[in-house]
Structure 1
Amino acid sequence: MAIKKTSARYGKGSCNGTFGELVQGIKNNQPFLITFPISELRSIALFTPDNECGMVLETRAHQKAALACNKLLAYFNQKGGGRLRLLSTIPKGKGMASSSADIIAAMRAVANSFSLPLTKELISQIACEIEPTDGVMYRDIVAYDYINGQLIEELGQLPPWQLIGFDLGGTVDTLGYNQQEKNYTLTQLNELKQAYQLVKEGILQQHLGSILCASTMSTRINQHMCEKPYFEEFEKLSACLGGGLLTAHSGTMLGILKNPAFDTKEQMYQEEILLDFNRRTGLSPIFYTNVNQLSQPLPSL
């Protein structure tokens, strides 16, 4: 696609990461995930145009992002290049969409620099040519085919939630994980369909309980594919806190998704439970919530 050549300027782009997925699996023979974006987890890309470079350059750590940007310029038949710099608060290899967020933020920075009409569909097309990609180009919760880079369905925003997350250590090779054959049983496939529907209904009715049920179902089904340590301990912790399990299906993160603790007594009880959990496992919690975000406009990405 050719567009009118414009003088490139300094460009900036960003993209949020995730804490795994609400549900992930196969539905009607199509791979899918339902996103769980976390605004505090973010990649920021800074692009300085430099025609002498001839192409977009980056360090070896971000070659995928640079490749996506060069594909973007080629798509628009745009000559020129520059230097890309990426800053991120998203841990690598944890199942938090760090690579997808880097690629998307980088393309947004280059598109901003060259005034290119970048769409979510084009982002998906280019990103999935490089690797399986999360649906983090969308602000709200979506069902997304992460292998083929296709939006399945926009689902909306979640009701108020709190997430108590834990990093179980190590890293997971996402590419290797996605190349594994997913041998779900017929029962599991039916449960994944049910989980998908529960998330849809939970968002439509703003009922967190349905969503907690769905995320727990998906976490349990996928445990045998990317085994998480202390799993039985987490199930007990989830029951004590009245929440549901949430996992990075191809990562090392596992957490408890629950209603926010507004009451002081409830908060104190939660702290006692988590201190005891820490003493037994050595795992320290990381807290996320969307309570403050719901009263504020979404940031521009």
Structure 2
Amino acid sequence: MLRTSPELLTPGGGRRTTVPGTVPAYRSGVCNGTLGELYQGPHWEAGVPHIAVVSLPVDKFSWCHFTAGPDGTGFDGSALDARPKAGRAVELFLDHYGLTMPTGRLAFHSELPVGKGMASSTADIVAALRCLFRLFALPYDQDAVTGILGRIERADSVFLDEFALYLSAGQRIVRPLGATVGLHACYIAEEGTVDTEAAGPALLAHYSRHRGAYRECLDGLLTAFGRNDAAAVAAAATRSATLSQGVLPKRTFDVLLDHRARLGADGLFVAHTGTVVGYLFQRRPDQRTRAELSEFFLSLGHQCHFSHVGWGHV
């Protein structure tokens, strides 16, 4: 069980002024985002539903870079002003290890739009923490990462290198699902943004009304992962996405569902608390299919995007 208690994050007592030895000129941390989830629904414990996810990792990333500065210029953390959650993560990290930042500055770069359900804030946090582990030459500690995340937000499991059924508020892995399933996605991001934290009560109420359907959906997904069956994973993702239409609907979902077979997709997926919606394919779409998909989404008023998703090579 992952540790998320406050004791994990108490100050380390006595701060080191900087990293031992020479401060490296550059250090970076990188974290992938998601295209939402293959599943988002309830995991019941002692009769109480908790929001559980099986995140759909995508080959889009957030970076955090540290660049050393001239002696005496101090630390420039202004980049954290636009990313307050990452800023809070840096504070908690420094308190936990009893450190202060050396002379230099932090900078961020991200391919993940905000508020679309692509785990942009979680990816920023994890990228910043990974950068700090490298900067201070500390062994990477996943318990420390999840402990910090638990103090900041309900998170996706982007810090893992495998699929997992994950409690997003409790920051706990319920069941690891391996790294053998890979798929290809064609997706769009609809207009608007979604406040993930604010959506929590509506989600839990929806889960309680559809407990049986979610149980069947999750059982199918777990069975599919157990068989390394990408087509069955895509089918279970379609069921989860369809269930989510009852609480946070996507405007284009129904038309995508109607055209799935014609366009040769194996399934649909959504960012359940976001605006991303798209198709899943077992095999990389060929040139003709990519053109047909692009024309279809253009007719809906959107530019589509393509990406590998998951961990397995396809």
TM-based fold match above 0.5: yes
CA–CA separation in structure 2 for the residues paired with 1:12 and 1:98: 17
Distance 1:276 1:246, change over 3 A: closer
Please say if 1:20 is aligned against 2:40: no
CA–CA separation in structure 1 for the residues paired with 2:158 and 2:120: 10
1:175: Cα distance to partner?
2.5
Matches within 5 A, 1:92-241: 92-178=114-200, 180=202, 182-184=204-206, 188-240=210-262, 241=264
Q: TM-score, normalised by structure 1?
A: 0.86
Matches within 5 A, 1:14-53: 14-28=30-44, 29-39=49-59, 41-48=60-67, 53=74
Please say if 1:68 is aligned against 2:84: no
Identity of aligned residues (%): 26
RMSD: 2.7
User: C-alpha deviations, 1:6-53, integer Å up to 9, x for none?
Assistant: 4253421110001000000111122210011112x1011112467875
Unaligned runs of 5+ in 2: 1-11
CA–CA separation in structure 2 for the residues paired with 1:111 and 1:201: 37
Secondary structure of the 1:130 match is coil
Which one-letter code corresponds to 1:294 in the other structure?
H
Runs of 4+ in 1 over 6 A off after TM superposition: none
Report if aligned partners of 1:3, 1:76 keep a CA contact under 8 Å in 2: no
Corresponding residue pairs, total: 290
| Larger mean Cα displacement after TM superposition, 47-56 or 74-83 | 47-56
User: C-alpha deviations, 1:246-301, integer Å up to 9, x for none?
Assistant: 00011110001122156x6xx5356336524532x122221112599728xxxxxx
Distance 1:277 1:106, change over 3 A: closer
| Larger mean Cα displacement after TM superposition, 107-116 or 179-188 | 179-188
Which one-letter code corresponds to 1:15 in the other structure?
C
CA–CA separation in structure 1 for the residues paired with 2:147 and 2:182: 32
1:79: Cα distance to partner?
3.3
1:158: Cα distance to partner?
4.5
Please say if 1:259 is aligned against 2:282: yes
Report if aligned partners of 2:29, 2:129 keep a CA contact under 8 Å in 1: yes
Report if aligned partners of 1:55, 1:80 keep a CA contact under 8 Å in 2: no
1:55: Cα distance to partner?
8.9
Higher RCO, 1 or 2 (CA under 8 Å, sep at least 6)? 2
Secondary structure of the 1:166 match is strand
Report if aligned partners of 1:195, 1:213 keep a CA contact under 8 Å in 2: no
Report if aligned partners of 2:207, 2:214 keep a CA contact under 8 Å in 1: no
Secondary structure of the 2:198 match is helix
Question: Equivalent residue for 1:282?
Answer: 301
Unaligned runs of 5+ in 1: 296-301
Return the structure number with greater helix share. Answer: 1
